[in-house]
Structure 1
Amino acid sequence: MVTLEIKYEGHICKKEFGDWLEYSIEKDAAYCLYCYLFKTAKGKQAGGETFVSEGFTNWKCKDRLNIHVGQHDSEHHKARMDCEALMNQDEHIQSVLHKQSRQMRNDYRIRLNASIDCIRVLLRQGLSFRGHDETESSLNPGNFLVQLEFLGAHNKEIDDVILKNAPKNCKLTSPDIQKEIVNACAIETVNVIIRDVGDSLFSILVDESRDVSTKEQMSVVIRYVDSSGHVNERFVGIEHVASTTALSLKAAIDKMFSRYNLSMSKLRGQGFDGASNMQGKFNGLKALILKENPCAFYIHCFVHQLQLALIAVAKKNLPISNFFRVVGDVVNVVGASCKRSDILREKHSDFIVEALERGDISSGRGLNQETSLQRAGDTRWGSHYSSLISLISMFSAVSDVLEIISEDDSSSPDQKTEAFNLLESILSFDFAFNLHLMKHVLAISSELSTALQKKKIRIL
């Protein structure tokens, strides 16, 4: 009867005091689960030896249980809170780490997508990425960082995880990260082009030049007809070559073909300039490719041939060669300083106003725009035509500027002499005749050059 009474009393106590009171049949004693798991060394109220190791057996004195529980700030309640936290799966360290890692992954994804979006815009517009001063105090840290700040200013979700709000070791704004993203964009773009080519026949356009760092670079363009029947010309990359010999260029092309799984047997055309290492009959790049694939017909760029013919004719005709020399000197002298360029624009504006008042020219949208003398290139004879057109339209203003320079006391004797000689030259009949003659000739060749550069033109 005593044992049954004790068990009955223990059952009543357990029901009254909740789950923290545990009963041991073997020892016929009660224990505090909370204090057993999270015992402290701050006195008997926290469990002491009674509720932890010895066991509570005085069932007639239930007040001891209330004393053990104590107030809201007692050690028992602290142990209870620790135990509940342990049993709470949401507070488990693995759950906490999982939540943190998931949030970090989400923040990283937002940060990476923001950097990619900014880089895509800059690549599409052909803009530079970096600035001279990229510190936080800089007013112009570069296009990439400015674009990223602008994106964050218009999207709070992005702003919360980029730049100052990003971890210092994971901002995704360093130059190396920018280059890696750009390289990834280039790879994906070329892969799309290669998939579009598929098993179709294609031709290549190759040219080489030296960049600003004095490295020889070979650019490659693929020309093909897509599944819709449209002719496409796609730039696929620039290859660094150790030398410009035909063997080096051929090795670079083979390397690029191997990288993109392009077959030399599918090649049906090759287009280069007229250099000996390109179109040499025996050892040129053209000959090396023809030995491997006789169907890869070589076609010299017609526009380039036209320019070479014009250059050769102009150089062999002394009056015309001297004429273009004088035109180049006029452009250099008149546009040598901002002051002279301002005078030229002012004189030309006055001439336009007088011509409109006389009715010699008509006004309208897109007419009589502010312009300047166009500088001609060395080999691009389309630029020579533009240069002559601008000189004819501004001839009166150019003459006035040369006269001002020749009479200006602030100019050096050499400058005054040069301006005087140029003024006499352009006012001569021979110069005026050659000016209008070459304008007429280059107008015809310019129209032909533009037609030859159309993508839809056929060789026949």
Structure 2
Amino acid sequence: MEVAYRIRLTAILDVTRFLLKQGLPFRGNDESSNSLNKGNFLELLEWYSLRNEEVWKTINQNAPGNNQLTSPKIQKELANACATEITRVIVDDIGDKFFSLMIDEARDASINQQMGVVLRYVNKNGHVIERFLALVHVPDTSAISLKNAIDCLFAKHKLSLSRLRGQGYDGASNMRGEFNGLKALILKENPYARYVHCFAHQLQLVVVVVAKENRIVSDFFQYVNMIVNATGASCKRRDQLRQHHHDRLVEQLEKVEIVSGKGKKSRIQFSTTRGYSLGIALHYNSPVNFYVDLNFRGTPKCA
């Protein structure tokens, strides 16, 4: 019985790890015995058992009714166990090294405020490593609430705030406020935790300002937005635009206006024989792939 239990548990844990690694859902709409699709977890476990006789002998009808290890509660416990083990490996890898903290907050699909916590450190091989540590529910986005959540998280994983050497947040007042922001609260306890405005947010702010001040760029993004909205709402228009994009690329490849090859990443050479030509390929996973070609004759002038 113990051997069979170990085989069954190992197989179910393998399925759990695969689904977690691929970011796939576990449950299905209909998990009854007569269902044609019981969800990823049960279907993958059944597929696994059909290709491994040893596993097949220990699960489903061959397992005790009160020890199937396939209930939703067991699935959640196994997923939490995997998450705990991964977190432990990350914390052990940090050890007593100095590290930096990066956090951001956002609402999830169920309208709960969540705080994502990322740690950045240098491992024993001298490589800079970033690791997602946890997603913490916070009652609100005030600086004191975020600070309390960080203190609880650090205490849980036995991380010392004294080893903190950097903070990276956005520019919101609750994050970078000089007196009552999260940055200030942490600096009161650790003056060595230097604050750096998140470069991704800085880049976003720069792009927004440039787009607003430059009429050509501003118009371009407005046109892109209209194209995405008009095309994404219709499967017919989307297919037509994709076909047009395909035909255009084939034509340019034949004329050697663009160059493509194995192992190359979008190496494009634009012809300038017709004045200034700006070709921009915009690729979206969903819902649209399209190609925008703006031709300027003469020297483009900024407003």
Q: For the superposition of Structure 1 and Structure 2, which TM-score range results when normalised by the shorter chain?
A: 0.7 to 0.9
Cα distance in 1, alignment partners of residues 65 and 176 from structure 2: 55
Give the TM-score of the pair, scaled to structure 1. 0.57
Map 1:165-176 → 2, pairs under 5 A: 165-176=62-73
> What's the counterpart of residue 375 of structure 1?
none
TM-score by length of 2: 0.84
Give the C-alpha shift of residue 317 in structure 1.
4.3
Deviations 1:341-394 (A, max 9, x none): 22223333333444455554556447899xxxxxxxxxxxxxxxxx94239983
Structure 2 CA distance for partners of 1:199 and 1:366, relative to 1, 3 Å? closer
Q: Do structure 1's residue 389 and structure 2's residue 281 form an aligned pair?
A: yes
Distance verdict in 2 for CA 1:326–1:363, change over 3 Å: closer
CA distance in 2, matches of 1:156, 1:242: 50
Candidates 142, 158, 177, aligned match of 1:261: 158
Contact 1:352 1:368 in 2 (8 A): no
Q: Does 1:241 align with 2:138?
A: yes
* TM-superposition CA deviations, 1:90-129 (whole Å, max 9, x none): xxxxxxxxxxxxx2x2222221111111101111122111
1:11 is aligned to: none
Q: Aligned equivalents of 2:8 and 2:226: distance in 1?
A: 54
Aligned to 1:151, what secondary structure does the other structure show? helix
CA spacing shift, 1:395–1:226, aligned 2, 3 Å: closer
**Deviation, structure 1 residue 281:** 0.6
Gaps of 5+ in 2: 267-278, 284-288
* 1:344 and 2:241 are equivalent in the alignment: yes
Partner of 2:99 in structure 1?
Answer: 202
Matched, 1:163 2:55: no
Q: CA–CA distance in 1 between the matches of 2:259 and 2:144?
A: 59
Q: Does 1:295 align with 2:192?
A: yes
The counterpart of 1:181, out of the listed 38, 54, 78, is 78
Given that 2:30 and 2:38 are in contact with CA atoms closer than 8 Å, whether structure 1 keeps it comes out as yes
Shift of residue 266 of structure 1? 1.0
CA RMSD of aligned residues (A): 2.8
Q: Which residue of 2 aligns with 1:334?
A: 231
SS of alignment partner, residue 226 of structure 2: helix
1:206-217 matches, within 5 Å, as 206-217=103-114
Is the counterpart of residue 282 in structure 1 residue 151 in structure 2?
no
Q: Deviations over 1:223-276 (max 9, x none)?
A: 112222222111111110000000000000000011011111111111111111
Give 1:414-433 correspondences, 5 Å limit.
Answer: 433=300
**Cα drift, residue 177 of structure 1:** 0.5
Asked if the contact 1:202–1:225 (Cα under 8 Å) also holds between the matched residues in 2, the reply is yes
Q: Which has the higher contact order (CA 8 A, sep 6+)?
A: 2
Q: Secondary structure at the match of 1:313?
A: helix
Relative to 1, partners in 2 of residues 1:137 and 1:352: Cα closer, same or farther, differing over 3 Å? same
> Aligned pairs, how many?
285
Q: Percent identity?
A: 53
Q: Find the aligned partners of 1:136 and 1:433 in 2 and give their Cα distance.
A: 67
Say which structure is richer in helix: 1
Structure 1 stretches lacking a partner, 5+ long: 1-102, 370-386, 397-425, 438-460
**CA 234–354 in structure 1, closer or farther in 2 if over 3 Å, else same:** closer
Q: How does 1:18-97 map to 2 (within 5 A)?
A: none
Q: From the two aligned structures, give the one with the greater strand fraction.
A: 2
Match of 2:16 in 1: 119
Q: Deviations over 1:60-109 (max 9, x none)?
A: xxxxxxxxxxxxxxxxxxxxxxxxxxxxxxxxxxxxxxxxxxx2x22222
Cα distance change, pair 427–214 in 1 and its aligned pair in 2 (3 A): same
Does residue 252 (structure 1) correspond to residue 252 (structure 2)? The answer is no
Q: Specify the code of the residue in structure 2 equivalent to 1:390.
A: L
Give distance in 2, aligned partners of 1:353 and 1:194: 51
Q: State which structure, 1 or 2, has the greater radius of gyration over its C-alpha atoms.
A: 1
CA offset digits 1:201-225 (Å, max 9, x no partner): 1111111110000000011111112
Q: Are the equivalent residues in 1 in contact too, given 2:281–2:292 (CA < 8 A)?
A: no
* CA deviations over 1:297-324 (Å, ceiling 9, x no partner): 1111223212211212322445543432
Residues 1:109 and 2:1 aligned together: no
2 CA distance for matches of 1:368 and 1:266?
41
Q: For 2:234 and 2:290, how far apart are their aligned partners in 1?
A: 21
Q: Which residue of 2 aligns with 1:422?
A: none
The 5-angstrom pairing of residues 221-236 of structure 1 reads 221-236=118-133
Measured at CA, do residues 429 and 215 of structure 1 come closer, stay the same or move farther in structure 2, by a change above 3 Å? farther
Deviation at 1:428, TM superposition (A): 8.9
In the alignment, does 2:34 pair up with 1:137?
A: yes
- Cα offset, 1:288, TM superposition: 0.2
2:280 and 2:291 in contact (8 A); partners too? no
Q: Structure 1 residues 181 and 135, CA, compared in 2 at 3 Å: closer, same or farther? A: same
